[in-house]
Amino acid sequence: MSLALDDLRVRSLGACEYDSPFAEMLSTKRTSPHYVAEDDRVLVDDTVSVLLSHGVPIDQVPSFEAAGPRKKIYFDPAETTVGIVTCGGLCPGLNDVIRGIVQELTEHYRVKRIVGFRNGFKGLAKDARNSVTDLTLDAVRDINNDGGTILGSSRGAQDPDEMVDSLLIHEVDVLFVIGGDGSMRGAMRLVERVDERELDISVVGVPKTIDNDLPYTDQSFGFQTAFARATDFIASVFIESQAAEHGVGIVKLMGRHSGFIACYAALSVNEANFVLIPEVPFGLDGDDGLLCRVENRLREHGQVVIVVAEGAGQDLLECDGAKDASGNDKLGDIGLFLKDRITDRLTEVGLAPTVRYLDPSYAIRSVAANAYDSVYCVRLAHAAVHAAMAGRTQTVVVRWRRRFVHVPMALITGHRNQVDPDGDLWMSVLEATGQPATFGR
């Protein structure tokens, strides 16, 4: 393809001489995974091969191995037993992934035995009882119609040696771990023990997070289903706030460290006036603060809708530093906090607000995958099977820039994907809500 830099038409009758309304906002931005600066460009081709002809020393350019079937595989399907385990919180698509793995292994590789461990890593612990179930084609036939996971789940780690023992008891050669970053860390500890004991067992991960906070991942599976469901609740409080004289609607959505659900759901409904996410701190007080802005909005328009991610504004709360079973910080309840503070403020200034607060929580994550996520999950499952049968281990399969690739487990647990305050997504949210880039700080 001969496409080059200067093919694009820019008006030549005059220079760009007017200041953009976004000029200030753009002044400090640099290219990142979420933004391309004005003086940078996007490659048309995203594979290493394109660089070879230009003499780039290929082993120095960061790149991922592509996922997919291989001509030669490591495990002899006729002699291979496979295990599957699902860990952590529910997420739409878990059953689709289980089903896709079982179907691919059975119908194409002709693997004879696939077992599921129940209740997450607990099912691999020493004293787990009745924790193994056979996963046949019939057992997974229409499980994709249901949310949740037929294998059950749990949070928290188990002793890695006990887990290896369980794999040996059930003669498992390949273990698929479907779980979040805590589970992937658990899987890595398991691989360490496998290595130390010089066992020939592979562990392949399918990373799961409803918050979409995985690095090197376009969107985590189930995310689209989740934010689509979340839009229903924004629409509800919008309708409620519209029907009252001084109507205030507040929805708290999932997102401990990353506000993706809040951003996408708000963009989709396009009725939110304020979107509050963990990545962008905000203040309550002062002329510039949230309370004043909410009040002003209510005076001008008679209604206001706020979408807040559960991890937003944690600095405003007094937390006790408690942890949950997965070792995550327990968050303070920013939703109830905002509800109370906003109600107090508006009541003080005589606006007699009608405040509607929704915290849909589990109602969002327990639904069955939508059409898109169903396809995505089955393709992820196929990729995971190919990776494992070809001998990859301590590896996860993800989609990056719409390519399915293999990523070392350590990379995926190394840091979180977040909404980039300089990126395209947050810019779209600012454009859609009309809220300022920062306030109250």
The binding site for ATP comprises: 89, 155-156, 180-183
Interface segment toward a copy of itself; rule CB under 8 A; list 290-298, 311-319, 338-346, 368-376 = 368-376
The minimum distance between CB 315 and a copy of itself, in angstroms, equals 27
Q: Are 235 and 427 in contact (CB under 8 A)?
A: no
The minimum distance between CB 209 and a copy of itself, in angstroms, equals 16
**Among residues 96, 173, 211, 373, which one is catalytic?**
211
**What's the CA gap between 365 and 363, in Å, rounded?**
6
Q: Which is nearer to a copy of itself, 294 or 396 (CB)?
A: 396
Asked if 264 interacts with a copy of itself (CB under 8 A), we say yes
Interface segment toward a copy of itself; rule CB under 8 A; list 36-44, 275-283, 286-294, 312-320 = 36-44
Asked if 156 interacts with a copy of itself (CB under 8 A), we say no
Asked if 337 interacts with a copy of itself (CB under 8 A), we say no
- Binding site per annotation, positions: 89, 155-156, 180-183, 209-211, 254-256, 310, 362-365
**What's the CA gap between 162 and 176, in Å, rounded?**
17
Residues 6+ apart with CB under 8 A from 7: none
Q: Are 269 and 299 in contact (CB under 8 A)?
A: no
Q: Which is nearer to a copy of itself, 283 or 372 (CB)?
A: 372
The minimum distance between CB 285 and a copy of itself, in angstroms, equals 27
Please give the sequence-ordered ranges of beta strands (E in DSSP) within 289-345, or none if there are none: 303-309
Kindly list the distances between the CA atom of residue 252 and the CA atoms of 38, 231, 274, in Å, as whole numbers in the listed order.
35, 11, 12
* 218 in catalytic set: no
Q: Are 399 and 216 in contact (CB under 8 A)?
A: no
Across the strands, what pairs with 308? 252, 276
Q: Which residues within the stretch 122-151 sit at the binding site for a copy of itself (CB under 8 A)?
A: 122, 142, 144-149
Among 28, 44, 127, 320, binds a copy of itself (CB under 8 A): 44
Q: Which residues within the stretch 89-108 sit at the binding site for a copy of itself (CB under 8 A)?
A: 90, 99, 103-104, 107-108
Across the strands, what pairs with 203? 175
Asked if 350 interacts with a copy of itself (CB under 8 A), we say no
Number of other residues whose CB lies within 10 A of the CB of residue 26: 13
Q: Which residues within the stretch 274-293 sit at the binding site for a copy of itself (CB under 8 A)?
A: none
Asked if 242 interacts with a copy of itself (CB under 8 A), we say yes
Interface segment toward a copy of itself; rule CB under 8 A; list 159-167, 290-298, 341-349, 421-429 = 421-429
**What's the CA gap between 344 and 419, in Å, rounded?**
31
- Binding site per annotation, positions for substrate: 209-211, 254-256, 310, 362-365
Q: Which is nearer to a copy of itself, 85 or 284 (CB)?
A: 85
Q: Are 158 and 124 in contact (CB under 8 A)?
A: yes
Interface segment toward a copy of itself; rule CB under 8 A; list 281-289, 308-316, 331-339, 429-437 = 429-437
Q: Which is nearer to a copy of itself, 25 or 316 (CB)?
A: 25
Q: Is the dihedral of CA 44, 46, 49, 53 positive or negative?
A: positive
Long-range contacts of the stretch 331-338 (C-beta < 8 A, 24+): 331/256, 333/252, 334/252, 334/276, 334/308, 334/310, 335/250, 335/251, 335/252, 335/308, 335/310, 335/359, 337/313, 338/250, 338/276, 338/290, 338/306, 338/308, 338/313
The minimum distance between CB 242 and a copy of itself, in angstroms, equals 6
Among 183, 193, 406, 421, binds a copy of itself (CB under 8 A): 406
Q: Which residues within the stretch 59-88 sit at the binding site for a copy of itself (CB under 8 A)?
A: 59-66, 68-77
Nearest to 122 by CA among 147, 89, 87: 87
Please tell me whether residue 136 adopts helix, strand or coil conformation. coil
Asked if 20 interacts with a copy of itself (CB under 8 A), we say yes
Kindly list the distances between the CA atom of residue 380 and the CA atoms of 29, 179, 344, 352, 369, in Å, as whole numbers in the listed order.
33, 13, 48, 51, 14
Q: List, by residue number, the catalytic residues.
A: 211
